[in-house]
Structure 1
Amino acid sequence: MRSSDRPVPADLRRGRGAASRDGGRYGRLTRADEADGWDIPEDLPPLRTTVTEERPRSVINYVRSPDIPFDRTLNPYRGCEHGCIYCFARPTHAYLGLSPGLDFETQLVARPEAPQVLARELRRPGYRVAPLAIGTGTDPYQPVERDRGITRACLSVLRDFGHPVGIVTKGTLIERDIDILSDMAARGLARVGISVTTLDDDLSRRMEPRAPRPARRLKTIRRLAAAGIPVRVMASPMIPGLTDHELEPILEAGAEAGAVAASWIMLRLPLEVSTLWQDWLEEHRPNAKARVMGHLRAMHGGQDYSPRWHVRMRGEGPYAALVAQRFDRAARALGLDCDQPALRCDLFRPPPRLGDQLSLF
């Protein structure tokens, strides 16, 4: 029996997004909770978050995708305690032999040497500077960052090198790093995207159980904007038949908070995410399941998801076109449709190290 056929009891996974510990597409073993045969009452402990460490040889991941505006990323952590049930990065945990479900949000991997490795990579003679994206896989400001500080240390490296960076997050902990980000933004080296999926507190708590509530994210936009940091409000993912009616209110709230740009992406369900998402709908929004999945399949040729370039992010067909038109109209009316200035690459200079020959010019 697959573990997804027997979800972990709700009281043991309180505050978690997924319901099961299915091992994923590479797992040879499945896990299920069974009685041990002893007639002794036993209270099982709730799931706890554990953090292991990884020492990477490189931290800059180069991507070749025609439908994203960057070609390199950095992720200080694997897995994400925010537990967003719809997260497209969940399948990456299968590469570690872990579950894209509950393991993704409870068994995290930190990369404490990422700042040093990043500095080493930036010093390589053949390195060519271009904006680096942080937070494209897992959130760099999830709760573990409060104690680990790996994201902040990486930002310090980028600041010292004069390297451009774009950050995507739901985490309000980014406010801690306003000192670094405001300095970089003043030099045209930094911008931030804050994801606001819904303005409904109850829905957010169920879909994104350990992420900050929507109103708190809007306050983060306000604080970053007040510090001179360009912020984009990201109405992502838009969930057809569940949150897409909130598209305009989300953009309005973001603009009021000080965002200078906006973007949106349709819900994506790659690999194991589809099963996890449908299990979540069954538990939390059963009356919406047929409607949500019907719209998604209509946008992906009858499938839950299509990975094709230029289709995977938005879908296609009448419904996808309608959402895109609504976004364009609202963004234009709110002044969020303007192109942001390109991040500067001409300030990149590896800082001198002890013993380096100093330049005369």
Structure 2
Amino acid sequence: MNVNQSNRDKLIQHMKAFDTELTNDVLLITHPKHVYYFTGFYTNPHERFMGLFWHKEQGWTLILPKLDAQAASSKVDEHVSLISYSDEQDPKAKVHEWLQKLQIDNYWFEDNFLTFDRVLWLQEARPEASCKSLASFVNAIKAIKTSAEIELLQEAANKTDSVLKQALQQFKLGMTESDVVAEIEFQAKKHGAEQMSFGTSVLGGYKSALPHGKAGAEKLTQGFMLIDFGIALAGYTSDMTRTFHIGPWQEEALNIYETVLRAEKAAIAQAKVGMTFEELDSIARTIISEADFGEYFVHRLGHGLGTDVHEYPSISKGNTDKIQEGMVFTIEPGIYVPEFGGVRIEDAVYMTSEGAVALTSFPKESKDVLL
């Protein structure tokens, strides 16, 4: 049994464990990264429809644009049927044709992803059927990584470390933020990245205090330079942040940096299976608050990582779900002082019975991040 077939079986078994018989139920997966997780085939269909359907009688069927059919046929195993449509054909008609063969009591779909317009497609085919959320079931099985997935995530992380090292060798005072982005993304391609995990962020000076700031034409001179990026490799992603300081440390800047570093190290060291995500968030948040920077830590501690760069779980206040062995998530405390600058330090970790193991290892001591 291949890994994608195993993932499909796990989903069905997990749903049935919650007393869901799935006798007259249809499952629909439309998130492209989740289609990849269950079939081994990835594409971004953009505005075109792509959906992986399941019914007890029909099994698994992938409905997708004809322009992707050839690529899909070389990736998808024989237990998934393929139905394609051309740009001249109505994909809704293809969906209805497949659904009309079945008795349907419930539709299960990714309510956090499927558009309302396409939910109406399902309802038009079977107005009497109930609509239910599939998202939590998909999240639950994707959250526990296999050893093979950990190996892929580790490979992506190793290359991320190397990409940043190579890119920084080209750094010169006066380069723009966009110049550094270009160097990082050039090195990522040289290291075999399929694409970046998300838009590479390089923020200098006061802009480093913008957690979701955009790199631009500003020149990098004295002060902080925050770099947040990741790569996609074999369908799995990395995510790492390092904050550098251009020029000698000043007292306030060093204090902020060392506080964030203490918080990140403590969270990694104390993360344990069975601890709640809220408790883990609190470890880092308490350190930052006790240093009188609590109001400047404005986001959660981290997020899950896998085929997508942001997955379940959310490591945040209020999340009382428990850490489980095999989970992979980021730990990324930050302090952002408006008009001065910000520091974020981020590593992804995977959970073992003995604690958290960091995937990325780029140096982060204050002496190591001076440029």
Instruction: Calculate the TM-score normalised by the size of structure 1.
Output: 0.26
Structure scoring higher RCO (CA < 8 A, sep ≥ 6) equals 1
